[in-house]
Amino acid sequence: MLITKFIEIDMGHRVPNHKSKCKNLHGHRYKIEVGVNDKVIDKVGSSEEGMVIDFGDLKDILMKNIDAIFDHALVLDQTDKFAQEIKSFDLKTILVDFVPTAENLARYWYDILKPALQRRNIKIKHVRVWETPTSTATYEED
């Protein structure tokens, strides 16, 4: 059974080598959807009977592993020319080892969420990232 949950965060980034305006520092209202695909719990009397995972528990995992870290942060590739300079400012900045595109963020967040969900014996199916209301990137392992 596939179920999904999404959260939204505000986050800044830049794509340093982009041919147009995305090379500038800017932000998005990201929508992040996580799909988990597992069996429905059939243990009679269990709080989660009839569910794959309680939506509230899934939300808690997303809030702890994505929202608490990335909401209102600036994410930059550690090789970006601004990365070292920005450290001198008191800003919520996260340096990563990739260009922070929607595609790369979808994979990165998938990799963060996979072990958190595995600890609950839940299989992650995908992470879909809306960078704009009409543009998404989805990562799932083959």
Other CB atoms within 10 Å distance of the CB of residue 42: 9
| Catalytic choice (26, 48, 72, 141) | 72
Residue type, 126: H
- Known catalytic membership, residue 72: yes
E-strand ranges in 42-142 read 73-77, 93-96, 124-132, 135-139
- Known catalytic membership, residue 131: yes
- Known catalytic membership, residue 26: no
| Catalytic choice (8, 22, 28, 33) | 22
d(CA 79, CA 66): 22
Catalytic sites, residue numbers: 22, 72, 131
